[in-house]
Amino acid sequence: MRSIGEMARDSGLGVSALRFYDRGGVLVPAWVDPVSGYRWYGPEQLEEARLLARLRRAAMPLADIRMVLAGWAGADTDLVRKLLQAHVRRLEVGLSDARNEFSTLRALLERREKPMTLPRTGAVRLSVSAPELAGALDAVRFAAGTDPELPMLGGVLFDIEGETLNVVATDRYRMAVAQADTDGHADPRVQIIVPSPLADAMRALLSEDESVQLAVDGDRVTLEAGDRQTAGQCLDHDFPDYRRLVRLPAGRRALVDVATFQEAVETGPVRPGEVRGSDETAADLSLLKVTSDGTVTIGVDGDDDQSLVAVNREFLLNALAAGARDRLVLEIGAPTAPIAIRRPDDEDTFSLLMPVRLEN
């Protein structure tokens, strides 16, 4: 007999998934302890559980999964084969429909103007405080993308508007935004994407409590700090409209002591995330919940509480470190809404982390 934990480990189904399929009558344990309620599975059920895990990864509907398992147990290979073939046909039709829709969307994108790319017809030169720019880069650099398929995210956006420099980075799963005050620019809005290596070189120059000069000339950007400078080409891509992405519905806010919360996240329970990529690695997830008294707790894997929000633990720790404060505000909304990490004294500098969907 296998315990539910052993069954989860050997089958590839999570503990919560096994509980869900038990309640649904899909994979019922061979025996349940009448006192503790603990579930035990027979040796023959491991094969069924592994089959169930494969069918779930193939996005087969639950009703069909139930029929496949019944046919499998009854050695009705014709029924199993027909159900699998029918599901493959549905997937092929769905893929064809999706391709048609995306083809239409690509055509619309080609005709659509690119409002986030503003012309840089003349040279722009402005002053910015070295500590402010350093703090802004430190606050966002961790969120810059590295996916070669999305080169527009492989740098840091400098969005210059009036006397404000907005610094933004995102890799789709997280976003960070910060601001620095500038002097000497009164022209229309200018946006450039500074490649990550160049952004790192700029940060290395920002060691003195002084003003530095930022210059943009066409597709070239230069940062001068006294008699030192670094320069390079901007990325020739369009950056997403981050201002739309940061409009979040209000969530539950909690003020956390960063050191204490970091320790709780580092040592607390985690849940393995979905396996992704060719290296078949899965990120550890922390399950967050804001209690009624306004504190944030770390949930336990297997907890069926629907208010738990799952987040990549590494990303969460990076965002807490980038917050650069002893205390930060965590704003947690619905399980599908981004988690905001804000500075109590600076609402213009914050990070957003996309939640991870929990499988039942």
- pLDDT score, position 95: 86
CATH number of the 124-243 domain: 3.10.150.10
Which distant-in-sequence residues (6+ apart) come within 8 Å of 45 by Cβ? 2, 7, 27, 29, 30
Distances, alpha carbon 261 to alpha carbons 14, 264, 288, 339, 343, in Å: 26, 5, 11, 15, 15
- pLDDT score, position 118: 47
- pLDDT score, position 263: 94
pTM over 0.75: no
CA–CA separation, 273 vs 356, rounded Å?
8
Q: Assess whether the region 2-90 and the region 248-353 belong to the same CATH fold.
A: no
Give, for all 360 residues of the chain, the pLDDT tens digit: 899 999 998 998 888 889 888 888 888 899 998 888 899 999 889 999 999 999 988 988 888 888 888 888 877 888 889 899 999 988 888 888 888 788 778 767 766 655 444 445 457 899 999 999 999 999 999 999 998 888 889 999 999 988 899 999 999 899 999 999 998 877 778 899 999 999 999 999 998 778 999 999 988 999 999 889 999 999 988 888 888 888 777 778 899 999 999 999 999 888 876 544 434 456 788 989 887 777 888 887 655 566 788 899 999 999 999 999 999 999 988 777 889 999 999 988 999 999 887 665
What sections of the chain are H helices per DSSP? 4-11, 15-23, 45-57, 62-73, 77-111, 130-140, 196-205, 242-245, 258-267, 313-323
- pLDDT score, position 156: 97
Which amino acid is located at 65 in the chain?
I
CA–CA separation, 231 vs 214, rounded Å?
10
- pLDDT score, position 275: 46
DSSP letters of 119-155? ---S-EEEEEEHHHHHHHHHHHGGG----TT-GGGSE
Token pair for residue 192?
A: 């450039």
248-353: CATH topology: DNA Polymerase III; Chain A, domain 2 (3.10.150)
CA–CA separation, 146 vs 155, rounded Å?
9
DSSP letters of 339-356? EEEEETTEEEEEEEE---
Token pair for residue 18?
A: 């096994």
The closest alpha carbon to 141, from 310, 283, 321, belongs to 321
- The CATH-assigned architecture of domain 2-90 is Orthogonal Bundle (1.10)
**Domain map (residue ranges) of the chain:** 2-90, 124-243, 248-353
Alpha-carbon Rg for the chain in angstroms:
26
